[in-house]
Amino acid sequence: MDPLLTAALAGVVGLAVGVLGMHAFRVSEKQRAMGIDVDEPTMPEGATEVLASLGLAYIVVDTVDGVVRANPAAYAFGLVRGHTVVHSPILELTAKVRADGVIIDQQLELPRGLQGETSMVVHLRVAPLGDEYILVLADDRTEVSRTEAVRNDFVANVSHELKTPVGAISLLAETIEDAADDPEAVSRFSQRLHKESNRLAALVQDIIELSRVQGKNVVHAGRPVDLNHVIAEAVDRSRLPAEAKNIDLKVGGRLPRRVHGDHDQLTMAFRNLIDNAVRYSPENTRVGVGLSSRDGIAQVTITDQGIGIAPENQERIFERFYRVDAARSRQTGGTGLGLSIVKHVITNHGGEVALWSQPGRGSTFTVRLPELEEGLDDLTGLSSAEGLTRTLTRTDDIGGNA
């Protein structure tokens, strides 16, 4: 055979082998890729749509607790990081469900944050999903748990606070009955009985007021309120106890605009602040009430020359039934609810209340409330519907003239 022909045939055969080799490689790669797709975890039909409609955080893990699927809420809660379940208590539940196939409902308190600096309460439902997977549903119950704890504490505190004066009244009544032949003792115990009954009445009234404050929607039921009148009324109600201790009660400044809210609630809040200032101030001192306005914010400050509040107590001073000095509060007639009522009222009005205090140098409570815009603060005397209509009309006029 001609050497040239032999070389040409060898070249053709080599080329054909090369082409076949490349084709075989591509087929092999395609088959391998198809094999991976087939082996990928697949969710049961319709499971994804159902999970998306639940509105809960969910995690789906495989046989080795790798995260197959998780929604954004699970990542936001910090339950999942990358493809890993973060919290070992959750993995303990998935292992148990995988072992016995029984659905578990459990509530856990879990650390939250990169360093576990906070915590959250989640209700978990862990159940089998198909033959291979475990589904974890998580419902954030942190706020619900906090509210329930506050409610339970409130009930317990109310029971305790009511028990004290009721018990004292019962004991004093028995003592008076036993001392019927001793007029001096009867008079002395009767005065104490009167004091305890007044304390009980004040406590019940504060509980009623706190309930009323929490139940009223100031945004919808409120009206324009002149804080100058509110402060004048609150100060007037504190005149007698101030005069009894020779405390100089002074008001300075004036507010140019009104605020939106409830006149009675605001009067009650400022009366509590002024009453506290008078109650915890020594005789022959001064309590000042200052009114000012800046950048659409009405500011009222109540300053006393009393005993002051230590820094460690200032953060808790607005808690229900919290007292810096329980014995002194009993002597002064405090119920422990006054500042809690103040906090609720001011917050409901879109404002804030702050405290500055130093032991031995007195305290200053500062209340800030948003003022109504000029031209929209003269709706006093109108019904809610009329006031809303007038406001909308004025707003339309402003927009039309722009």
Q: Over 60: is that where the pLDDT of 328 sits?
A: no
User: Which pLDDT band holds residue 300 (cuts at 50, 70, 90)?
Assistant: very high
Domain edges within the chain: 51-140, 144-215, 219-373
pLDDT of 401 reads: 35
CATH topology for 144-215 is Helix Hairpins (1.10.287)
How far from 115 is each of 57, 73, 74, 88, 121, CA to CA, in Å? 21, 19, 17, 15, 17
Lowest pLDDT segment from 20-24, 208-212, 237-241: 20-24
Q: Which residues pair with 154 in a beta bridge?
A: none
For 240-295, the pLDDT digits (tens) are: 889 999 999 999 999 999 999 889 889 989 998 999 899 888 899 999 999 999 98
CATH number of 51-140: 3.30.450.20
pLDDT of 253 reads: 93
Which superfamily is assigned to 219-373 in CATH? Histidine kinase-like ATPase, C-terminal domain (3.30.565.10)
Beta strand 67-70 with 57-61 is antiparallel
- DSSP SS3 for 303: strand
Enter the pTM of the model. Answer: 0.49
pLDDT of 326 reads: 46
Kindly report the average pLDDT of the chain as a whole number.
75
d(CA 391, CA 29): 72
For 162-221, the pLDDT digits (tens) are: 766 777 788 888 888 887 778 888 888 888 887 778 777 767 776 666 666 655 556 666
Do 136 and 94 touch, CB atoms closer than 8 A? yes
Q: Over 80: is that where the pLDDT of 52 sits?
A: no
pLDDT of 42 reads: 60
How far from 221 is each of 67, 260, 372, CA to CA, in Å? 50, 10, 15
Q: Which residues pair with 123 in a beta bridge?
A: 107, 139
How far from 294 is each of 73, 267, 371, 386, CA to CA, in Å? 42, 22, 10, 29
pLDDT of 200 reads: 77
pLDDT of 233 reads: 93
Q: Which residues pair with 270 in a beta bridge?
A: none
At 386, list the tokens: 């009329």
User: Which pLDDT band holds residue 5 (cuts at 50, 70, 90)?
Assistant: very low
3-state secondary structure 122-185: EEEEEEEECCCEEEEEEEECHHHHHHHHHHHHHHHHHHHHHHHHHHHHHHHHHHHHHCCCCHHH
For 82-118, the pLDDT digits (tens) are: 889 999 999 999 999 999 999 999 999 888 766 666 7
For 114-151, the pLDDT digits (tens) are: 666 678 889 999 999 888 899 999 998 887 777 676 66
At 118, list the tokens: 């906070």
Q: How many CB atoms are located within 10 Å of the residue 201 CB?
A: 11
Q: What's the N-to-C CA distance of the chain in angstroms?
A: 102
Q: What angle do CA 202, 204, 210 make, to 5 degrees?
A: 100
Percent of the chain scoring above 90 in pLDDT = 28
For 342-384, the pLDDT digits (tens) are: 888 888 888 899 889 888 888 999 999 999 876 554 444 443 3
pLDDT of 256 reads: 92
